[in-house]
Amino acid sequence: MPLFKFYEYLSKFGALKLYERELESKISKYPPPKHVGIIMDGNRRLAKKLGENPELGHNLGASKVHEVIDWCVSLKIPTITLYAFSLENFNRPEKEVKVLMDLFEREFIEIADHPDVHKDKIRVSVIGRREMLPEYVQKAINYAEDKTKGYSDYFVNFAIAYGGQQEIIDSVKKIAKQVKNGEIDIEDINIELISKNLYTSNLPSPNPDLIIRTSGEERISNFLTWQSCYSELYFCETYWPTFRKVDLLRSIREYQKRERRYGK
């Protein structure tokens, strides 16, 4: 039986909440991942399945972000990185890109003023080539980052105008300038130096322990390419807007069951 059908079966008999509690009980006995990355996929496909335009799917997906942040805080996961908009996404129809940009502006202003963000001391940040975003979106991002810059209990990062390979290129360019200026020697270039120049260098746990992708696709699509070299991967059938807490719990439980050997 496909997993989503199993969940539908449980829901009919009111057993899904019991299943959630059982998973939470098991998860509480082991350390949670320190950093979870999520590839939020399936907004457009869900809208198409419902016979609606992509805008509905993107709005539903934005609402899901707030829920997932709450779930991660309740599970004591200190860092999450959400893949919201890749560099390749700029190639989508102009109207759809505008819808997404407007949505980003609205959501960053809303998250900056949300009482739970301040209660839970969540620092909000954006990684990616933000200079490619419209000025009004950059302004909203700066607003959210400024209002939460003093917090360090939880970190919520949005990857927007982001590409993992491009992030590595940007890091190499920074290092090349340092070599050119005589600040470092070529022999100083190592894993630590490249990592130090990545977008995620300011995070307490820059490398995700667990990466979740929704919608059934099984690839990481240029997400945290450098940082994910030892991440555990979990692929979920459900579309992002219909992602449930039980899906998150199952991914964490699966992560806890795996033996992370780091090549040893």
What does the block give as tokens for 216?
Answer: 């059934």
Interval 207-247: pLDDT, tens: 999 999 999 999 999 999 999 999 999 999 999 999 999 99
> In this structure, are residues 112 and 148 in contact, taking their beta carbons and an 8 Å threshold?
yes
Does position 13 have pLDDT exceeding 50, yes or no?
no
Q: Taking each helix axis as running N to C, give the angle between helix 94-113 and helix 54-74, from 0 to 180 degrees, rounded to the nearest 10.
A: 30
**Sign of the CA dihedral running 9, 15, 20, 22:** negative
What single DSSP character describes residue 128?
S
- Considering the domain delimited by 33-63+77-163+205-223+247-254, tell me its CATH architecture: 3-Layer(aba) Sandwich (3.40)
What single DSSP character describes residue 132?
G
Q: Residues at the annotated binding site for substrate?
A: 42-45, 58, 86-88, 90, 92, 213, 219-221
For residue 264, the model assigns a pLDDT of 65
Q: What is the pTM of this model?
A: 0.92
For residue 11, the model assigns a pLDDT of 56
What single DSSP character describes residue 127?
E
d(CA 66, CA 107): 10
Looking at the annotation, which residues are catalytic? 41, 89
Beta bridge partners of 235: 213
